[in-house]
Amino acid sequence: MNSQSKRHKIICIGNSLVAEDAMAMAVYDLLSAQKLPDNIELIEGGIAGLNLLSHLENAGNVVFVDTVSGFSSPETASLSEKHYHLRYKNAFINTSYDNDCNSSGTIIILAQNEITEFLQDFHYGHNSGIAYLLSVLPMVCEGTLPNTVFLVGLEGKCSRSTIEKAALTTLKIAITGNCNIV
């Protein structure tokens, strides 16, 4: 399978029944209402954990969309600003404001190596998430590994415009495999 015939995957993780975990599912709903390019597959990943492995094998670009926390400001990360930007060199931080200038969510982008750095417990559990999935993938992959893996993270209560921006960002990254274009 050559890289041009591989399908790119957008995998939205979360639970639409749980408010704190529903942002990515809002992105899923938005994208599923659109006509996506033929080589893009949109997946409602839910909270399926390890059951998403087969979606990653032989994939082109993979973009996860999920709720994150603790990224929305350097102060929250407790790092110096310079260190923060060096640390997350691919992170794109955007805080969009609605008409009343109220904060309405933040979009963070993490590359694969940055995601797996957050794996604190190497034990598998029912609650194992993307970090575990990506850490174990190289050891159990029976096809080819994805070309690229990114996470579009959503933090805070996201407004409609933030969700739309996240959806557009996700699509661009999935198509190009490059987060710098955003």
Partner 1 sequence: MSTIIKGINIPLNRVEGDLEIYVDVTDGVITDAWSCGTMYRGFEDMMTGRGVLDGLVITPRICGICSLSHLTAAVKALDIITGIVLPDNAIFLCNLALMAETIQSDMRQAILMYMVDFANPAAYNHYFMFEEALKRYEPMKGTSVQDVIKETKRFVEVIAIIGGQWPHTSFMVPGGVTSIPEAHKILQCRMIIDNFRKWYENKVLGCSIEQWNAIKSLNELYQWLEESKEHSESEVGFFIRFAMKAGLDTVGKGTETFISFGSLQMPQSSKVTSENGHLISPGFARKTAVEPLNPGEISEDISHSWYHPAPTGEKNSSQTSRPNSSYENRLLQENDTQSSCQVAAHPFYGTTKPYASGKSGDQYSWAKAPRYNGEPAETGPLAEMIVDKDPLFHDIVQHKGASAMARELARMIRPSKLLPVMTIWCEELMFNRKAPFYTSMKDIPDGQGAGMIQAARGALGHWVAVKNSKITHYQIITPTAWNGSPRDNNKVRGPWEEALIDTAIKDPDNPVEAGHVVRSFDPCMVCAVHTIRNRKK
Interface residues with partner 1 (CB under 8 A) are 13-18, 20-21, 44-54, 66-71, 76-79, 110, 115, 118, 120-131, 135-136, 139-140, 142, 151, 153
How far apart (Å, rounded) are the C-alpha atoms in residues 13 and 32?
14
Pick 36 or 53: Cβ nearer partner 1: 53
How far apart (Å, rounded) are the C-alpha atoms in residues 179 and 160?
22
Smallest gap from Cβ 137 to partner 1, in A, equals 10
Smallest gap from Cβ 138 to partner 1, in A, equals 10
Contact 153, 67 (CB under 8 A): yes
How far apart (Å, rounded) are the C-alpha atoms in residues 104 and 124?
34
CA separation, residue 106 to residues 58, 66, 155 (Å): 31, 12, 5
Pick 36 or 48: Cβ nearer partner 1: 48
Q: Map tokens 């102060």 to a residue.
A: 75
With vertex at residue 61, the alpha carbon angle to CA 150 and CA 173, rounded to the nearest 5 degrees, is: 60
Pick 101 or 126: Cβ nearer partner 1: 126
Pick 89 or 98: Cβ nearer partner 1: 89
What does the radius of gyration of the chain's CA atoms come to, in whole angstroms?
16
Smallest gap from Cβ 99 to partner 1, in A, equals 28
Pick 102 or 127: Cβ nearer partner 1: 127
Smallest gap from Cβ 78 to partner 1, in A, equals 6
For residue 35, what are its two tokens? Answer: 């006509």
In the sheet where 148-155 sits, what is the strand order?
94-97, 103-111, 148-155
